[in-house]
Structure 1
Amino acid sequence: MIMKNINEKVYLFLCLITFFLFFLQGEVQSHSIQEKGNKCHKRSNAWICKTDIANLDSSVTNKQQNVAKRISETVAVMTYNIYGARPNGIQNIEEIAKVITQVNPDLVALQEVDKYTQRNAHIGDVAKRLAEITGMHYFFSKAIDFDGGEYGDAVLSKLPIKGTKSYMLGTTPELPGENRSVARVTVEKGGTEFYFISTHFDHLNKETNRVKQARDFVNILKKLDKPVIVGGDLNDVPDSKTISILREHLLFGDRNDLNSFTFPTSTPSQTIDYLMYFPNSAFRINLYRVYTPASITSDHFPVIAIFKINSK
């Protein structure tokens, strides 16, 4: 009996010693972890270290930076003839603005833009009003005086406009036609400064005027000292002489597949609206599309594209 009591006491003593040693080991480990700059804490019986959190945060931050870099290296553009020349003017400019905001481009080339004409007296300065609704910067370039005001082309830009310039495209003296304009802005994205242009060639049936305007436009482009993206209603089809002249200097954004009709929206049968660029080393096309959901705001569909800006 005495021996049994002694054995029980020895057993209890050994248990206490074992528990004490286990506890002491845990404290030493805890102290060791805390000594590493107090970088760890216990959560749900697991040690979470600040170094691990920092690595996780760094991974998330790197992913965010990569996404931001990809965004900064692309530019979304649109060209859109807004049918400002319709006889009764633009009835609902908010619907045109809605098309633009739905696509959410960085840059928009606008054609048929009125400024204080009688037919659009209820709007006044069309480019300015669209800029106000969409929250973008704008630049208007007059082609002709018309209907008590001005008529021409414009650019809308999310990017700060660093410079502007207007050019005129004339017609041949022996043929009736309309002088047209070129609206050029200087912008910067992804560390690259480039030009964005809106233009609109003569709409009359005589190709002679458009051929002249194409040649004059190419001469303008040859003098530019930066990469350029062009959006325009050229009033001519892909296999025309007008387009062949432009191809000598410009690359067409749809990789030369010009089979998507842009006009008229009621019964699409022609491709006359384009996005172009130069040089090939400056940009790469990620997407090119005729935006057919915009079927009631104009007689032209907008054309949209996403360009990757190639780093220098």
Structure 2
Amino acid sequence: MTFSMCGFRSVDGSPGATPLYRRWICSFLVLLVATAGVCLAGASRVQAAEEDDKPELRVMSYNIHHGRGSDDQVDLQRIAAVIKAAQPDLVALQEVDNGVGRSGGVDQTAELARLTGMQGRFFKQIDYDGGEYGQAILSKTPLQTPEIIWLPGEPERERRIVGRAQTTIHGVTFWFATTHLHHANSAIRQDQAKALNQRFTHGDAPMILAGDFNAPPEAPSIARLQKRWTLATSDAPLLTFPADKPRKQLDYVVFCPQSAFRCRGAEVVAERVASDHAPLVVKITSEVKLNEN
């Protein structure tokens, strides 16, 4: 018998059965496709498992209105109860009093740290009513190298700041920061957003920034921030203000660089009385071992 590239023929030239080498090739191709499918499915399962295995950070942004609720009562215990129920790893607080007359002369950061079992750090903005007024961070892990960075604003009124500190969670070291942008002047807010971009996104260590940005998602200041920061709530607005009947989003969690973190979900806590803002909680995973870079 003889073989040809076009098929198999007997010695007399009559068509024969499917040649053996073609059956081998077909069997090999079927096996190859099946193996590739199994490998791809396996890789997808491994990737999904790796995503599920990555430890999450729970980050809260909460403007506490110095503990004064919609019932006009200053009550830090209910603020603490809201925080504890959400089980955050990190909390960025705005409108925090320290020894201020209107809130009973209490060091609110220290008291909230005691009530929640977290570490606390206060960042002063201004002197006010016999004490200090500003922002704070709560953390389940120790806070190191705290610092205040001043933002553009109105010197004769309330200056705005970023208060930040380094912490290490799940083996990852990064900056966590709180800020409260200008409430009434869009041009100043844009200058503040520009300053945030220039100060923190050019080779600085990875950072999560949370706070009351005093602007809806479509505002120019938010658009400017998005040139350098990733919004953890960019899919859809999450309404945080006013707390009793939320109509707009003013509170955010952002991070940089984009490759350092990934948002796994976000929600607004349905708390209507404790403050004039509802707290925002975001789940974040780290994408690299930042402290090993």
Q: So what's the TM-score if we normalise by structure 1?
A: 0.71
| Shift >3 Å, 4+ stretches | 85-90
Match of 2:79 in 1: 96
| Cα distance change of structure 1 residues 90 and 125 upon mapping to structure 2, 3 Å threshold | farther
1:150 matched to 2:132: yes
| Cα distance change of structure 1 residues 172 and 307 upon mapping to structure 2, 3 Å threshold | same
Per-residue CA deviations over 1:281-300 (Å, capped at 9, x if unaligned) read 111111111112x1110110
| Cα distance change of structure 1 residues 81 and 224 upon mapping to structure 2, 3 Å threshold | farther
The structure that has the greater radius of gyration is: 1
The CA distance in 2 between the partners of 1:252 and 1:172, in whole Å, is 27
Match of 2:93 in 1: 110
TM-superposed deviation, 1:258: 3.6
Match of 2:168 in 1: 188
Query: Conserved in 2, the CA contact under 8 Å of 1:258 and 1:271?
Result: no
| Match 2:252 to one of 269, 274, 283 | 274
TM-superposed deviation, 1:172: 5.1
CA RMSD of aligned residues (A): 2.3
TM-superposed deviation, 1:85: 7.7
Count residues in correspondence. 239
Secondary structure of the structure 1 residue equivalent to 2:258: coil
Query: Conserved in 2, the CA contact under 8 Å of 1:291 and 1:303?
Result: yes
Per-residue CA deviations over 1:157-193 (Å, capped at 9, x if unaligned) read 00111321111123157xx752112110101122221
Match of 2:151 in 1: 169
Structure scoring higher RCO (CA < 8 A, sep ≥ 6) equals: 2
The CA distance in 2 between the partners of 1:214 and 1:90, in whole Å, is 33
Q: Which amino acid aligns with 1:187?
A: T
Match of 1:261 in 2: 239
Query: Conserved in 2, the CA contact under 8 Å of 1:144 and 1:180?
Result: no
| Cα distance change of structure 1 residues 90 and 151 upon mapping to structure 2, 3 Å threshold | farther
TM-superposed deviation, 1:131: 0.3
Match of 1:119 in 2: 102
The CA distance in 1 between the partners of 2:277 and 2:236, in whole Å, is 15
TM-superposed deviation, 1:305: 1.0
TM-superposed deviation, 1:78: 0.3
**Structure 2 residues not aligned, in runs of 5+:** 1-48
Query: Conserved in 2, the CA contact under 8 Å of 1:83 and 1:90?
Result: no
